[in-house]
Amino acid sequence: MPRIAYVNGRYLPQSRASVHVEDRGYQFSDSVYEVCIVMDGGYWDLEGHLARLERSLGALKIAAPMDRAALQVVMKEILRRNRLKNALVYMQVTRGVAPRNHSFPPEGTPPSLVVTARRFDIRQSDARAEKGVAVISQPDIRWGRVDIKTTGLLPNALAKQAASEAGAYEALLVRDGHVTECSSSNAWIIDETGALITHPKAEAILGGITRQTVIACAEELQIKVIERPFTLEEAKAAKEAFLTSASSFVMPVISIDGTRIGSGSPGPVARRLREAYKAKAANG
Ligand code: PMP
């Protein structure tokens, strides 16, 4: 069965699903996106992802392609048409199609909406989390508004490629000596006292929806959370480290640039938080 994509009002086999060559998403990365996980037919952290999509659109003054209720119909239909119960759903909204010109197109130019879905196997993620992952550091060379979830991801892609070439899972991005986040996830460490430390929400990081839910889990587990920047040296000396994202959940880190973290295997706090996150996300 071919994968089906939603493009501007139509459901098409992915091989025939396309956007215009003058789509501003294609030419200027003038577009925003969301990635959501679906387990047993239910979207995890749905409210958070929809709210962030609306925030990203608002920050760039891109018109919403449809209201929330209509988008949720498309999000349901893409699962049905692809016969998926466990999926990774990708949604992208661009400022639409117009003759190439840096300034915005005329008011009323319709935005483009693309929604795709593919199978997501939680067992692969769980197996990876059992072992923990290696990460490397890379310079954070991104623009100043990475709190907006745009598709302008070239620096992220270059950092992730450097990680892949080094046999690592992710890249910790470092600016002025401090770890901001990772190429496609938020970064966390656990200090000597057992407190969680993660970069505060700011224009320098993407406010992860998983990050937000993990903070709520930590509060329920009475684990202290300190939102402050931390250095690469602090990270390497941390008791534990982990990453969070919609598709990685809570992923324990066992080495940074070849330096072993803690005992060199997934730590107990990261494991607990992974279980707590999964339970909380599954229950809406
Ligand atoms: N930071 C960056 C740069 C990301 O790309 C992502 C994932 N899209 C995240 C953090 C984590 O965000 P979320 O938990 O909402 O997936």
Report the nearest-CA residue for atom 3 of ligand 1.
Answer: 184
Same domain for 91 and 165: no
Q: What is the pLDDT of residues 201-223, one digit of tens each?
A: 999 999 999 999 999 999 999 99
| Residue 127 pLDDT level (bands cut at 50, 70, 90) | very high
Same domain for 136 and 277: yes
Report the nearest-CA residue for atom 2 of ligand 1.
Answer: 184
Q: What is the mean pLDDT of residues 12-28?
A: 97
Same domain for 247 and 140: yes
Residue 164 token pair: 């892949």
Q: Which distant-in-sequence residues (6+ apart) come within 8 Å of 46 by Cβ?
A: 36, 72, 284
Task: Determine whether the shortest distance from the Cβ of 94 to ligand 1 is under 6 A.
Answer: no
Taking only Cα atoms into account, the Rg of the chain, rounded to an integer number of angstroms, comes to 19
Domain range for 79 is: 4-120
Same domain for 239 and 197: yes
Compute, in angstroms, the gap from residue 110 CA to the centroid of ligand 1: 27
CATH number reported for the structural domain that contains residue 84 in this entry: 3.30.470.10
Residues 214, 79: Cα–Cα separation, whole Å: 26
Residue 283 pLDDT greater than 90, yes or no: no
Residue at a domain's end among 102, 120, 138 = 120
Q: What is the pLDDT of residues 82-106, one digit of tens each?
A: 999 999 999 999 999 999 999 999 9
Same domain for 130 and 110: no
Would you state the pLDDT for residue 263?
A: 93
Same domain for 241 and 132: yes
Q: What is the mean pLDDT of residues 15-39?
A: 97
Question: Residues 64, 66, 68, 73: what is their CA dihedral angle, to the nearest 10 degrees?
Answer: -140
Residues 94, 115: Cα–Cα separation, whole Å: 12
Same domain for 165 and 216: yes
Residue 80 pLDDT greater than 80, yes or no: yes
Helices marked H in 108-208 — which ranges?
122-131, 154-165
3-state secondary structure 164-192: HHCCCCEEEEEECCEEEEECCCEEEEECC
Structural domain total, the chain: 2
Same domain for 115 and 222: no
Would you state the pLDDT for residue 1?
A: 81
Same domain for 162 and 88: no
Residue of 76, 131, 149, 224 with catalytic role? 149
Question: Residues 219, 222, 226, 232: what is their CA dihedral angle, to the nearest 10 degrees?
Answer: -110
Residue at a domain's end among 82, 98, 120 = 120
Report the nearest-CA residue for atom 9 of ligand 1.
Answer: 185
Same domain for 86 and 56: yes
Distances (CA, A) of 119 to 72, 85, 90: 19, 8, 12
Residue 284 pLDDT greater than 80, yes or no: no
CATH number reported for the structural domain that contains residue 187 in this entry: 3.20.10.10
Our answer to whether residue 149 is catalytic in this structure is yes
Same domain for 179 and 107: no
Task: Determine whether the shortest distance from the Cβ of 185 to ligand 1 is under 6 A.
Answer: yes
Report the nearest-CA residue for atom 10 of ligand 1.
Answer: 185
| Residue 73 pLDDT level (bands cut at 50, 70, 90) | very high
**Most informative mutation of 46, 180, 198, 245 for ligand 1 (most atoms within 8 A of CB):** 245
Same domain for 136 and 263: yes
Residue at a domain's end among 78, 98, 120 = 120
Would you state the pLDDT for residue 28?
A: 98
**Most informative mutation of 38, 89, 175, 184 for ligand 1 (most atoms within 8 A of CB):** 184
Q: What is the pLDDT of residues 131-153, one digit of tens each?
A: 999 999 999 999 999 999 999 99
> What's the whole-number average pLDDT of the chain?
97
